[in-house]
C-alpha cells in the first residue's frame, strides 16, 4: 500500500461554527475519511484530546474562541501538538495566512472551497503525517525486540502521568530483569541471548495486552511495563500472568541459580499522580522492589506494600 493510499483512510475533525460549511466539507471528504465535527473551539479541543484525529480542518473566525486560539492550544498539548491543521476560512489576505501559519497551521484554504482542492490538500497533509509517524515510530522502538525503547518509555510515562493526573486515576509500573542473564549469554552465546530477549518481549506484550499498556526495553536485559489507570492489584495480575508466560517459553538456563529455566524478577508499584509527585518516584519504588525480588531468590515479583 502506498503512502497516498494510506492517506485516504484518515480521521478528519472539521471545526466551524456554521453547519452549512461543515456539510460542504463533509460531503467532500466522507467517501475517503472518517469525519468528525465540532461547532466551537472548546468542543474541538475535547474531541482532539479524546479521539485523536489525524487532521483538523479549522475555521479562523468563531465566537468565544477563534481558530487561532484553538490552534495554539492544540500545539501546546503533548497529546495534540503533532496533528496537522489546515485553516479553512473566508479570510484571504497574506497577513491572515501568515498569522495562521505562525499559530501552527500546516496549510491554508480560502472559502468558498473547491472540493477537489480540499481532498488534494487533505491527502498531502495526511501523507506527510503518515511518513512522519513511521519515522517517529522507528526512533521510539527497540530494534531487536520490537517493543518501545528507553526514549519511547520516557515519552509515554510523561504523557500517561499527565493524563492520569487529570483523570485522578492511578498509574502502575513493573520493572523486570532477566535472572542471571550474563551467565546465560556466557553459556549459550549472544545470539541465543538476543533470541531470548525477543521472546521475553513477546511474553510481556501478551501479559500486558490492553491498548494503553506499554512494554519497553529499559536497558540490556531489563524491561518495564507501564500500566496507565491501573492500581497495584491490577499490576499484580499482570505480573503473575507474565511469570506464567515466561514459564511457558521453557527456555533452558542451566547456569541460573534460580531455576533450570530462564526466569524473571520483578518490582511492582503503583502511584496516584498528584501535585508535588514526579514519575521518577514511581520508577524508584519499582526498582527498589525489583532488588527485593532478587534478594528473595529471584523468579518472583515483589509488590509495593499497603
Which residues are the active-site residues? Answer: 221
C-alpha–C-alpha distance, residues 64 and 70, integer Å: 11
Which residues, 6+ apart, have CB-to-CB distance to 175 below 8 Å?
218, 222, 223, 224, 266, 267, 283, 286, 287, 289, 290
Q: What is the pLDDT along the chain (306 residues), one digit of tens a residue?
A: 444 455 567 899 999 999 999 999 999 999 989 999 999 999 999 999 888 999 999 999 998 899 999 999 998 887 788 899 999 989 888 898 898 889 899 999 999 999 999 999 999 999 998 888 888 888 899 999 999 999 999 999 998 998 899 889 999 999 999 999 999 999 999 999 999 999 999 999 999 999 899 999 999 999 999 999 999 999 999 999 999 999 999 999 999 989 999 999 999 999 999 877 899 999 999 999 999 999 999 999 999 998
| Domain of 287, in residue numbers | 150-303
228 and 298 part of one domain: yes
Q: Any alpha helices (H) in the chain, and if so which ranges? A: 3-6, 19-29, 41-51, 67-76, 94-103, 115-139, 150-167, 181-188, 190-207, 232-249, 279-295
Tell me what pLDDT residue 3 has.
Answer: 42
| Domain boundary pick from 103, 137, 171 | 137
Residue 144 included in any domain: no
172 and 288 part of one domain: yes
Phi, psi of 276 (to 5 degrees): 90, -10
pTM for the predicted model, two decimal places: 0.71
Tell me what pLDDT residue 131 has.
Answer: 87
Residue 102 included in any domain: yes
Report yes or no: 61 and 67 within 8 Å, Cβ to Cβ.
Answer: yes
- We report the CATH number of the domain holding residue 158 as 3.30.70.270
Q: Which residues pair with 300 in a beta bridge?
A: 265
Residue 86 included in any domain: yes
Residue recorded with cell 501552527: 104
Tell me what pLDDT residue 58 has.
Answer: 96
C-alpha torsion sign, points 3, 9, 13, 14: positive
Tell me what pLDDT residue 30 has.
Answer: 92
CA-wise closest residue to 264 among 186, 218, 200, 214 = 200
Tell me what pLDDT residue 5 has.
Answer: 53
Total domain count for the chain? 2
C-alpha–C-alpha distance, residues 23 and 29, integer Å: 10
C-alpha–C-alpha distance, residues 208 and 217, integer Å: 14
C-alpha–C-alpha distance, residues 119 and 262, integer Å: 54
Amino acid at each position: 500500500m502506498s503512502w497516498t493510499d494510506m492517506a485516504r483512510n484518515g480521521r478528519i475533525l472539521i471545526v466551524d461554527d456554521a453547519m452549512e460549511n461543515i456539510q460542504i466539507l463533509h460531503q467532500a471528504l466522507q467517501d475517503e475519511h472518517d469525519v468528525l465535527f465540532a461547532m466551537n473551539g472548546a468542543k474541538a479541543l475535547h474531541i482532539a484530546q479524546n479521539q485523536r484525529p489525524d487532521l483538523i480542518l479549522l475555521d479562523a473566525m468563531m465566537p468565544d474562541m477563534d481558530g487561532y486560539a484553538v490552534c495554539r492550544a492544540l500545539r501546546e498539548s503533548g497529546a495534540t501538538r503533532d496533528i496537522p491543521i489546515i485553516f479553512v476560512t473566508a479570510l484571504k489576505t497574506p497577513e491572515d495566512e501568515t498569522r495562521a501559519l505562525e499559530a501552527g497551521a500546516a496549510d491554508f484554504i480560502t472559502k468558498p472551497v473547491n472540493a477537489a482542492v480540499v481532498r488534494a490538500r487533505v491527502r498531502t497533509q495526511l501523507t506527510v503525517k503518515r511518513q512522519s509517524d513511521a519515522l517517529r515510530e522507528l526512533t521510539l522502538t527497540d530494534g531487536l525486540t520490537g517493543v518501545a525503547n528507553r526514549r519511547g518509555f520516557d515519552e509515554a510515562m510523561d504523557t500517561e502521568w499527565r493524563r492520569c493526573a487529570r483523570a485522578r486515576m492511578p498509574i502502575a509500573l513493573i520493572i523486570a530483569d532477566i535472572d542471571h542473564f550474563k551467565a546465560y549469554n556466557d553459556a549459550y552465546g549472544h545470539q541465543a541471548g538476543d533470541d531470548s530477549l525477543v521472546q521475553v518481549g513477546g511474553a510481556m506484550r501478551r501479559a500486558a495486552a490492553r491498548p494503553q499498556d506499554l512494554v519497553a526495553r529499559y536497558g540490556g536485559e531489563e524491561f518495564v511495563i507501564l500500566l496507565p489507570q491501573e492500581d497495584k492489584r491490577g499490576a499484580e495480575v499482570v505480573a503473575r500472568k507474565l511469570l506464567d508466560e515466561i514459564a511457558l517459553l521453557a527456555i533452558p538456563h542451566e547456569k541460573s541459580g534460580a531455576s533450570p529455566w530462564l526466569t524473571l524478577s520483578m518490582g511492582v508499584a503503583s502511584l496516584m499522580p498528584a501535585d508535588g509527585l514526579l514519575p521518577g518516584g514511581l520508577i524508584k519504588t519499582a526498582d527498589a522492589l525489583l532488588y527485593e525480588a532478587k534478594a528473595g531468590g529471584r523468579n518472583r515479583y515483589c509488590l509495593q506494600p499497603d
